[in-house]
Amino acid sequence: MKTIIIILSIFAITSVNSQAAYEKGMGKAFELWGNQKNDEAANLFERIGKAEKDNWLPFYYAAQIHIVTTFGIKDAEQIESRLTKAQNYLNEAKTFSKGNAEIMIMEAMLNTAYVVYDGAKYGMTHSAKVEELYQKAKIIEPENPRAILYHAEWQMGAAKFWGKDPKAFCPEIEKAISLFDLEKSTVPFYPSWGKDQIERIKQNCK
Partner 1 sequence: MKSLLTTILLLTLAFLQAQTTISGTVTEPSGVPIPGANIYLDGTYDGSSSADDGTFSFTTTETGEQILVVSFLSFETYSLNVSVSEMKNLKIALKEDVNSLGSVILNAGTFSAGDNSKASVLTPLDIVTTAGAAGDYIGAFQTLPGTSTVAEDGRLFVRGGDANEANVYIDGLRVFQPFAATANNIPTRGRFSPFLFKGTNFSTGGYSAEYGDALSSVLLLNTIDEPEQEKTDLSFISVGLGVGNTQKWKKNSLSVNAFYLNLKPYQEIISQRVDWIKPFESLSGEAVYRHQFDKGLFKLYGGLNYTDFELIQEDINVPEGINFGLKNRNLYINASYKGDLGNDWTVATGASFANDHNTIKIVETNVDNDDNAAHLKVKLRKRFSNRFKLSFGAEQFLGNFKEEASDISFGNFQSSFKNNSTAAFSEANIFFNKKLAMQLGIRATHNALLDFTKISPRASLAYKIAEKSQISLAYGDFYQAPQQDILKYNSSLDPEKSSHYIFNYLYQNNGRTLRAEAYYKSYDRLAKFDTEMPQFGSNYNSNGDGYAAGLDLFWRDNKSIKNLEYWASYSYLDTERDYRNYPERATPNFATSHNLSVVGKYWAKDWKSLISATYNFASGRPYTDPNTINFLGEKTRTFNSLDMSWAYLISQQKILFVSVSNVLGFDNVFNYQYANTPNINGDFARRAIRPTADRFFIVGFFWTISDNKTDNQLDNL
Query: Would you tell me which residues interact with partner 1 (CB under 8 A)?
Result: 2, 5-6, 9-10, 13, 21, 25, 39-40, 42-44, 46-48, 50-51, 53, 76-78, 80-82, 85, 118, 120-125, 127-129, 131-132, 135, 158, 161-163
Of 132 and 174, which has the nearer Cβ to partner 1? 132
By C-beta, is 38 or 198 nearer to partner 1? Answer: 38
Cβ 196 to partner 1, closest distance in Å? 26
Distance CA 84, CA 50 (A): 18
Helix axes 56-70, 38-52, angle to 10 degrees: 160
- Smaller CB distance to partner 1: residue 86 or 180? 86
Shortest CB 80 distance to partner 1, Å: 5
Three-class SS string for the chain?
A: CHHHHHHHHHHHHHHHHHHHHHHHHHHHHHHHHHCCCHHHHHHHHHHHHHHHCCCHHHHHHHHHHHHHHHCCCCCHHHHHHHHHHHHHHHHHHHHHCCCCHHHHHHHHHHHHHHHHHCHHHHHHHHHHHHHHHHHHHHHHCCCCHHHHHHHHHHHHHHHHHCCCCHHHHHHHHHHHHHHHHHCCCCCCCCCCCCHHHHHHHHHHHC
Backbone angles phi, psi at 161, to 5 degrees: -60, -40
CB of 69 to partner 1, least distance (A): 10
183 vs 141: CA distance, rounded Å: 12
Q: Which one, 129 or 175, has the nearer CB to partner 1?
A: 129
Instruction: Tell me whether residue 3 or residue 186 sits nearer to partner 1 (CB atom).
Output: 3
- Closest CB 115 distance from partner 1, rounded Å: 11
**CB of 135: closest distance to partner 1 in angstroms?**
6
Between 41 and 103, name the residue whose CB sits nearer to partner 1. Answer: 41
Residue 143 Cβ vs partner 1, minimum distance, rounded to whole Å: 20
